[in-house]
Amino acid sequence: MNKFAPALDQRAAPDEDCWYAATEGEPAGLPLTLSIYADRPHIRGMLREDAQASDLRVSVAADLSALTEGEARPLADVVLVDCPFVDAQTLAALARLDVRAARTGSRLIVSTVVDGLEDVFGCLDQSGAQILVDPDRAERVISLGHVLAQFPSGRLRELSEDERGLLMRLTEQVGQIAGRIDRLAPAQHVASEAAVPLLQEGPRTARPPLPDPRLVRRIIRHRQLRSRHFGSQIFADPAWDMLLDLTAARAEHRRVSVTSLCIASGVPPTTALRWIGQMVEQGLFLRVSDETDRRRAFIELSNGCVDAMARYFAEIGENTSAV
């Protein structure tokens, strides 16, 4: 967990939402600290209320200029950044923040809009930051809770695979309930019923070829047609839908952007990004930088995942032929 160096001096701020507190020499057991950077005052106020309700101590609440101007300040345990409009200066600040968070162990939650997703995703590749897209208040709270679950007893620890799957399902289920309460309308999506399995290492044998991409695209269309007639809530399975899309793209020698993969998942972008993060952590997906534009990144299947998908399609093909 991030330990602070020199204490920050208290200083006057142009409005009541921007203030700083000293953090040096705190005894163990005090709440985790949180920094908020957002240009919109009502967002700063809402984030601070939710943070304090979660027993987090807000050490900084300021606009985005605090990230781009002046000397770098020590990072809190959790850093919330709201950037609905991204420019070169903001992206550079996010990239620096990402590197610092990876070094110190701070957790980043960055919210943006669909149009800014590619740029924001491209510059956050070190710290495992959570990215939210056009989030409502419930989604912000759920994302904060997801991060806090990784700080048991004030220390980071590695989650087991069962815990990862359970946390993903609980996060989406609670988010669905919170969204209903917040908007007084049915939620649009639910999470997959099964956690994403890890690939198991086994004896290396010749890998069968990937299926014809036209077959995979036909399966994808059938899944979309099913949701159209029965509703997406029943069949939502973002992990499998993304696996299918990336399998077809691999066979087509085509690269897939994060925005395109979010669309293919059939769930809201914030939910899709959470699943992409889990799939990367579990070694199923790879994040690959664009050689011509370092600000962009693509998602592709790992070699182990390609093996698994090829064998899966080969096996179901054999079973179909035997019928």
Say if CB 97 and CB 55 are below 8 A apart: no
> Could you tell me which residue, 7 or 228, shows the higher pLDDT?
228
Question: If 0-12 CB within 10 Å is exposed, 13-18 middle and 19+ buried, where does residue 200 land?
Answer: exposed
Helix, coil or strand: residue 299: strand
> Could you tell me which residue, 242 or 296, shows the higher pLDDT?
242
Say if CB 264 and CB 242 are below 8 A apart: yes
**Could you tell me the CATH superfamily of domain 19-140+149-157?**
Response regulator (3.40.50.2300)
Token pair listed for 101: 């968070």
Domain 208-322 bears CATH identifier 3.60.15.10:
no
Does the structure show a pLDDT above 50 at 147?
yes
Place of tokens 């939710």: 50
Size (the chain), residues: 323
Output the pLDDT for position 170.
52
Least confident of 58-67, 130-139, 159-168: 159-168
Sheet holding 285-289, edge to edge: 256-257, 297-301, 285-289
In angstroms, the CA 27 to CA 77 distance is: 15
Task: Characterise 280 by phi-psi region: left (phi > 0), alpha (psi -120 to 50), beta (else).
Answer: alpha
In angstroms, the CA 275 to CA 282 distance is: 11
pLDDT in tens, 201-213: 455 567 788 999 9
- Domain boundaries, given as residue ranges, for the chain: 19-140+149-157, 208-322
> Which residue type sits at 91?
L
Predicted TM-score of the model (pTM)? 0.72
pLDDT in tens, 158-179: 445 554 555 555 555 545 544 4
Query: Does this chain's domain 19-140+149-157 share its CATH topology with 208-322?
Result: no
pLDDT in tens, 254-280: 999 999 999 999 889 999 999 999 899
Output the pLDDT for position 301.
96
